Structure 1
Amino acid sequence: MRKIVYGLLTTLFIALVGCVTINVYFPAAAAQKAADQFIGNVLNGSGAAAQPTPKHDTDNAPAKGSDPSAMLLDLLVPAAQAAATPDLRVQTATTEALRQRMRTRFENSLEAMLDSGAVGFTNDGLVALHDASKIPLAQRAQLNATIADENRDRNALYREIANANNHPEWEAQIRATFAKGWISHARAGWYYQDASGAWKRK
């Protein structure tokens, strides 16, 4: 009888594994936390972005003497859930180099440009010219170069995070998450674009 039960369970297990499709969802909460840490470091020099710590679910371990079918489900369900909600890897050698460049650029020039109102945060995670008249004519070439350099690094950052997680299709969602984060961290008086692209002052 026991052999028959185990035989049926084995068949059921193979059928379930063959039929189950695991969807990997974008980890929005982990992405928002990582974006906040990264942005906080760039704008305030506070805390480098740390990788989320994987959670180990020990509560779902099957108890000794449990029903074999319950044990099978206990093994399948947590594994499927873990695969469907991955951690987000943010720290790589490339993202660290980008963070350092962005922090240095912010301290040397971008902060003053944001304070003056010449530059603002866009709704797609970049920076853009808001009012060139806020900067003396002689400094406008530097203004344009700073904007171009910053946007190059931001685009590279979003792409690198997506690729580091083996999900290049997440780039747009990572960009959107960071776009909200930049605006959320903007200081009073800085300009940003709303969802329609209109400039607003914080």
Structure 2
Amino acid sequence: MRKLVYVILTTMAVALVGCVTINVYFPEAAAQKAADQFIGSVLDKAGTAEKPAAKEPPPAPKSDAGHPSAMLLDLLIPAAQAAETPDFRVHTSATDAIHARMNQRIGGILGQLLDSGAVGFTHDGMVAMRDAAKVPLSQRAQANAAVADENRDRVALYREIAVANNHPEWEAQIRAAFAKTWIEKAHAGWYYQNAAGAWQKK
């Protein structure tokens, strides 16, 4: 009996340590979801497609409440679920202000530059002038300022999200998640850089 108790306690300790370790790592799925939502709300002006109706959940299995192994699982599963779906913070007063400025630019000069092909999304989560000849000489200073402002906000956004999640060291990984989504959500006809840095048209 004492051996069984020892095995159960050892299993619990290992499982709990594993859960704590999981929380230390960068929550890639949560960051990608946050990037999808943030960027989608900046770029997508049209309404989203209607979602299919949710399926009925399968019937719950019979309860083994009271059994020692069931009690152990009841203790461990909530902790494991919390580790799998961390609370990833994106909205702060700073990121909301950045979001508003990005919306204004994408609805104005930056959107026009992307539509014309003068500017494109880089593979590292920024924007860059791709073909200055597509911008009239009288508007180039304004276009360059818009690109610089957008890049300044993007750098600040990635840093702010990392800090808001109490992990400044995640900044590069957050930037990578956002870089992927900027390109994935780019409108048809817009330019983006592939991993090698070559420009491609969506």
Task: Sort the TM-score into its range (normalised by shorter chain).
Answer: 0.7 to 0.9
Runs (4+) off by over 4 Å = none
The corresponding residue for 2:96 is 96
CA RMSD of aligned residues (A): 3.0
Unpaired segments of 5 or more residues in structure 1?
48-58
TM-score, normalised by the number of residues in structure 2: 0.78
| Residues 62-77 of structure 1 mapped to structure 2, 5 A cutoff | 64-67=65-68, 71-77=71-77
Match in the other structure for 1:53: none
List gaps (5 residues or longer) in structure 2.
Answer: 48-59
- Whole-angstrom CA distance in 2 between matches of 1:64 and 1:33: 35
Q: Tell me the residue number matched to 2:55.
A: none
Report the TM-score, using the length of structure 1 for normalisation. 0.78
Residue 26 of structure 1 aligns to which amino acid in structure 2?
F
Q: Secondary structure at the match of 1:20?
A: helix
1:150-197 per-position Cα deviation (integer Å, ceiling 9, x unaligned): 001011111111111112222112111111111111112211100000
User: Is 1:40–1:46's contact at 8 Å kept on the other side of the alignment?
Assistant: no
The aligned residue for residue 143 of structure 1 is 143
Q: Percent identity?
A: 65
1:20 aligns with 2:17: yes
Cα pair 1:27 1:87 within 8 Å, conserved: no
Contact in 1 for aligned 2:158/2:175 (Cα 8 Å): yes
1:1-202 residue pairs with structure 2 within 5 A?
Answer: 12=9, 16=13, 20=17, 22-24=21-23, 25-45=25-45, 64-67=65-68, 71-83=71-83, 85-202=85-202
Q: Secondary structure at the match of 2:200?
A: strand
Matches of 1:44 and 1:72 in 2, distance apart? 46
